[in-house]
Copies of this chain bind each other. A is one copy, B any other.
Amino acid sequence: MDSAVALACARAEGLACHALSFDYGQRHRMELEAARRVAGALGAASHATAQIDLRAIGGSALTGEAEVPKDRGRIGEGIPVTYVPARNTVFLSFALALAEVRGAEDIFIGVNALDYSGYPDCRPEYIAAFERMARLATKAGVEGRPLSIRTPLIALPKAGIIRKGLELGVDFGLTHSCYDPLAPGRPCGRCDACLLRRRGFAEAGAKDPLPYPG
């Protein structure tokens, strides 16, 4: 959902967008098919999925065998078990490689500092440090061409992200959030991702088009 709204923000600036998804052995791999549909619906110039071998490194409920927590009352306290080590750093590194090959000046990422305060790699100071590193890492940076990491959602609450997406014409029926779906297109409704999403739609006063159980 956040990636979809971030892409819509980039398209609203009139940018040609090369979308990049990651297959990192996540349980919720159906998000990759959703990403392809969303990229098409929003008019991305291309969409690629990079295979990422994080499973060899281990360390998270999202890629390992641990249970995904359900019905948690206190999302956002401490670093959750679903934290994937260095995930955004790995994702942004691949995006940096693609940006260099495509000659892109902006890398958009849908990170959000508020709802997921437990993830260190969603904070503005992390993003600023990555951007500084990226400018030193690449031919583009060495040659003085601009390179920015853009985070249009970083300061928004989930309800604000949903409102912005609706303004920009995002079809949230195409998106996928659940960490542990019951079946293709059938979110569990109870994992952290589902709880945050449902609370966001409620706060935005909008209807979530996805079919939750019960």
Contacts and interface: CB of A to CB of B under 8 A. Distances in A.
A83 B75 CA distance: 43
A26 to B, nearest CB: 14
A82 B142 CA distance: 17
Contacts of A97: 54, 57, 59, 84-87, 89-90
Contacts of A51: 51, 53, 56
A49 B55 CA distance: 11
Contacts of A96: 85-86, 89
Interface stretch (A5-13, A35-43, A124-132, A167-175): A124-132
Contacts of A137: 86, 88-89, 120-121, 126, 129-130
A12 to B, nearest CB: 26
B133 A133 contact: yes
Count identical subunits in the complex: 2
A117 B144 CA distance: 17
A120 B132 contact: no
Interface residues of A, number: 44
Contact of A93 (B86, B100, B129, B132): B86
Interface string A24-56: 000000000000000000000000111111101
26 contacts: A49-B56, A50-B53, A50-B56, A52-B53, A54-B97, A57-B97, A57-B98, A59-B100, A59-B101, A79-B139, A83-B139, A85-B96, A85-B97, A85-B101, A86-B94, A86-B96, A86-B100, A89-B93, A89-B137, A120-B141, A121-B136, A126-B133, A126-B136, A129-B129, A132-B133, A133-B133
Given A85-B98, A86-B138, A89-B97, 10 more contacts: A51-B53, A51-B56, A58-B101, A85-B101, A85-B138, A86-B100, A87-B97, A93-B93, A129-B137, A132-B132
